[in-house]
Structure 1
Amino acid sequence: MKQLSQTGLANEQAAGGMLENIAAGMTRWSEKWFPDAYIFAAIAVIVVAAGALSIGAPVQSVGRAFGDGFWTLIPFTLQMAIGAISGYVVAVSPPAAKIMTRIARLPSGPRSAVAFVAFISISTSLFNWAISLIFSGLLVRVLARRTDIRMDYRAAGAAAYLGLGATWALGLSSSAAQLQANPESLPKALLAITGVIPFAETIFLPQSLLVVVVLTVVSVAIAFFSAPTGERARTAADLGVDVADDDLDLKAPTRPGDWLEYSPLITVLVVMLGAIWIWYEFSTKNPVLAISNLNTYNFVFLMLGMLLNWRPRRFLNAVAKSVPSTAGVLIQFPLYGGIAFILTKAAAPTGVALSEHIAQFFVAISSHSSFPAVMGIHSAVLGFFVPSGGGKWIIEAPYVIEAAKTLHVHLGWAVTVYNAAEALPNLINPFWMLPLLGVLGLRARDIVGFTFTQLIVHFPVVIFMLWALASTLDYHPPVMP
């Protein structure tokens, strides 16, 4: 019996080691050969432009479409940047730190600690992806300070990433759902194709909520059972990571002019004004419609960030630390705006744009029933090369919605198909891991062995649900503003 037990343990270690080696090798390859995500966005511009030229669009028309579309996403670009900043500011506030300290006492063992992080990451991602990423990362650091449990720091770090790698696009901060619910954020050329699709038809569909529940259960279970324990676990100390608390607290003011920066009076007055507007907004409108407005959503979290950090100087310090995480959004989204216009505006002499050609292709290879699975696989593969939920939707929406209309697929479900599938490559793409890795003091290769395990299970589960649930929804024509 003892020999059989030792053999089983050896087999378990060998299987885990093999999977981790495969994932680590893939990450080393991507870190060596994959350039910055900006390069992929630039290559996408070139590929789409070449595609437009290949169908006969004049060179001048392609260039003009690129320039005309370049700045069309500026409102949405700023909205997404503010969303990331406000999420970070809330996550690093003193009250959030106190909550983390308290809830970090709840897990009773190393595996339950990892599963707990996974649940918190997924739950918070449904409200704000940036809060999920930063809050969960800081929670892992707090848990790593516990001396009564030997928690695997790598597995916990991977669990902290599950919100962004599994469910964020199905929550309130979904870039695609926010875009479709806010016509003022969409380029006019795209709005003419998709119309307005409210939250009630996307993230609040019962079928979408069911996908969230299933992914939550599956993700937490995998996080629990895949976490190494005992001598196989590697703690933060084993990895040489210092998990001492990051100090954002203020030093004493040194000059009279600092008084206003350190006084909560300014914060209180500004937040009071904001609270009046928020009360009016939610009392005069349907709350679901109110929160689906991206400006309202960002305003609520920004006011909350000011209040929780209390003093203006601390709030500004938190903002300054959050800004670097928005660099990719700021420089890449204009390229996506240019791509959207090339897809929809640079037409051949026949008047048919590239987006219509692509839509016809997917119509040809799909049916009403197979469309969700086909588009889900396509979106997941493309997501590894264009790691941006909002930017990639601008690229895909013209032909995804056109094909969905032709095949009479529920348009809100087409958005959900995109949301659920585009999150899958995040599990192994180092791009969105960077803010979390900075908090944890780890490298992508440290956690990707665990996130790759999640991907192996998630992919078939997600594609099956997207296909199976599509048959429960009826098609409705697009609603124009």
Structure 2
Amino acid sequence: MIKALGARFTEIFKKYMPDAFVFALVLTIIIGFSALIWTDSSIMQVIQAWYEGFWMLLEFGMQMILILVTGYCIALSPIVKKLIYKLTQYIHRPKQVYPFIIVVGMILSCISWGWIVITAVLARELALRIKGINYPYLIACVYFSGVFWVSGFSSSIPLLLNTENNYLIEAGILSGTISTSYTLGSILNISIIIFSVVVSPIIVYLLIPKEEQGLEEMLIEGNQKDVSTIKEEAESMNHSVNTVSDKLNSSSILQYFVAAMGLAYIVYHFSANGMDINLNIMIFIFLIVGMFLHKTAIRYVIAMKRSSMNISGILFQFPFYAGIMGIMIHTGLGDQLAKAMVSIATIDTYPLLAFISGGLVNFAIPSAGGEFAVIGPSIINAVREIGEGLPEQEVNQMIARSALSIAYGETLTNCLQPFYLLIILPVMGLGIKIQARDVMGYLIIPFLVFFIAWSLMVVYVPI
């Protein structure tokens, strides 16, 4: 029954869901018309807001590219390839692969959401080794495992609330920071993690498709394997006689010296800032680790070139999603939506409304930090009004619950939004023809199960 339902959803998505770029274009038109109807903006003001937003995610888009390329580059190193191969030796049957990937992906995503790239590399290696795997379903499992990053160390909204002099404090919306003990260390968040770790592998096991669709069968002719190893390609670039340039290209001393500088900063960063894991330091770690693992500059250059072969989706689609974000912010549409939702909130319903708000706005602003900047202030102000007269500690707990609810709603609707597939498909889709529509249908049932469960948990589980 559940497998048949999952197969049905998959067929519907294959039939009706367009490419991720077309999805962005349709969403642009919907959000644009919504701004015209719901705000006082003129057509030209909406277009101006769209243009201004186009450049809002340039830094974020570059971070996405670097997370993808540097993470994949590490995975291409001989040491890591051997490690991944040894790890995959313990998995022998297709039905073991999907729950294994979900659990590993959840753990890695809780450390840093950028580590979903490592999950993707591991999954691709398993797909090459084990016969009988349904590869589009495996991609869906990797994507779903990344949903749980909001419960981990890189969760941007809880980290923002605990940051001194953040924009909410400067605007007078918060009187001070809110400790992560109220958010990431709360009973609610720990309950979400436990529920997810237990239930996710069960769901993906029950939904395993009957039909096989292996990676090797999907590979386009000529893309089956790299023609040479990175080391072999590096050696082939040397001149027939020893030259100064070849010696510099192949020097480990030069590479290790600069990498040692980077390592020194990484140690300094964590000793000075504690477990401050953000995108920039994560990318920097990946860069430096890659330099150590590939030993020479020319090998690192070749690895980077191979890692960058399939990043066109991120390069040109991110600005369009940023344009949608611009409409939401500059026309006031996001604030209007948040106010409409919280206007009917009570002390019993505000977590659920925050959860739904986070999920809805995620379609237009697929960035937790960006989304919270738009709807967070309105929701927190509403929570403060609802909690007026209560002790400050209880109000802070309510704010923490609403912030977590927004984060959970935001990440869960990624199951319906192909935006972050742009990070996975360059790795898992290399050498094959695959689109978001081949993957997204498998996520409908997990989405429905978790939507119901998390809706109840954000309301009833204590902080």
Report the TM-score when normalising by structure 2.
0.78
Aligned to 1:393: 372
How do 1:266-415 residues align onto structure 2 when only pairs under 5 Å count? 266-285=254-273, 287-288=274-275, 290-291=276-277, 293-320=278-305, 321-322=307-308, 324=312, 326-327=314-315, 328-329=317-318, 332-333=321-322, 336=325, 339-343=328-332, 358-408=337-387, 410-415=398-403
* Cα distance in 1 for residues equivalent to 2:9 and 2:409: 23
2:123 and 2:138 in contact (8 A); partners too: yes
Is 2:132 the partner of 1:145? Answer: no
1:305 and 1:315 in contact (8 A); partners too: yes
May I ask how many residue pairs the two structures share in their alignment? 436
Aligned to 1:9: none
Structure 2 unmatched runs, 5+: 388-394
* Cα distance in 2 for residues equivalent to 1:316 and 1:413: 46
* Cα distance in 1 for residues equivalent to 2:46 and 2:9: 42
Aligned to 1:464: 456
SS at match of 1:365: coil
* Cα distance in 2 for residues equivalent to 1:68 and 1:110: 47
Aligned to 2:192: 211
Which residue identity does 1:455 align to in structure 2? Answer: F
- Distance apart, 1:417 and its partner CA: 1.3
Is 2:76 the partner of 1:119? Answer: no
How do 1:104-253 residues align onto structure 2 when only pairs under 5 Å count? 104-132=88-116, 134-146=117-129, 150-164=132-146, 166-177=147-158, 180=161, 193=173, 199-228=180-209, 232-237=211-216, 239=218, 244-246=224-226, 249-250=230-231, 251=233, 252=235, 253=237
Give RMSD over aligned pairs.
3.9
Aligned to 1:350: none
TM-aligned CA distance change 1:388 to 1:49, over 3 Å = farther
2:169 and 2:177 in contact (8 A); partners too: no
Deviation track 1:199-227 (CA, whole Å, cap 9, x = no partner) reads: 55433434223212211221111112222
Is 2:442 the partner of 1:450? Answer: yes
SS at match of 1:414: helix
Aligned to 2:87: 103
* Cα distance in 1 for residues equivalent to 2:450 and 2:63: 30
Percent of aligned positions with the same letter in both sequences? 23
TM-aligned CA distance change 1:62 to 1:430, over 3 Å = closer
SS at match of 2:99: helix
* Cα distance in 2 for residues equivalent to 1:205 and 1:173: 16
TM-aligned CA distance change 1:159 to 1:48, over 3 Å = same
* Cα distance in 2 for residues equivalent to 1:72 and 1:434: 18
Which residue identity does 1:393 align to in structure 2? Answer: F
* Cα distance in 1 for residues equivalent to 2:436 and 2:54: 32
Tell me which of the two structures has the higher relative contact order, counting C-alpha pairs closer than 8 angstroms and 6 or more residues apart.
Answer: 2
Which of 12, 27, 36 is the matching residue for 1:40?
Answer: 27
- Distance apart, 1:109 and its partner CA: 2.4
Is 2:238 the partner of 1:254? Answer: yes
Aligned to 2:15: 28
- Distance apart, 1:115 and its partner CA: 1.1
* Cα distance in 1 for residues equivalent to 2:251 and 2:367: 39
TM-aligned CA distance change 1:313 to 1:406, over 3 Å = farther
1:87 and 1:129 in contact (8 A); partners too: no
- Distance apart, 1:422 and its partner CA: 1.5
* Cα distance in 2 for residues equivalent to 1:62 and 1:25: 33
TM-aligned CA distance change 1:59 to 1:236, over 3 Å = closer
- Distance apart, 1:358 and its partner CA: 4.7
TM-aligned CA distance change 1:22 to 1:238, over 3 Å = same
1:74 and 1:334 in contact (8 A); partners too: no
TM-aligned CA distance change 1:196 to 1:382, over 3 Å = same
SS at match of 1:406: helix
* Cα distance in 1 for residues equivalent to 2:110 and 2:37: 38
Deviation track 1:94-128 (CA, whole Å, cap 9, x = no partner) reads: 33322221111112422112211111222211223
TM-aligned CA distance change 1:303 to 1:193, over 3 Å = farther
1:70 and 1:334 in contact (8 A); partners too: yes
TM-aligned CA distance change 1:106 to 1:307, over 3 Å = same
TM-aligned CA distance change 1:249 to 1:175, over 3 Å = farther
* Cα distance in 2 for residues equivalent to 1:226 and 1:61: 46
* Cα distance in 2 for residues equivalent to 1:181 and 1:267: 38
Deviation track 1:342-387 (CA, whole Å, cap 9, x = no partner) reads: 43xxxxxxxxxx7765554333211122111122123223334443
Structure 1 unmatched runs, 5+: 1-11, 344-353, 474-481
Aligned to 1:347: none
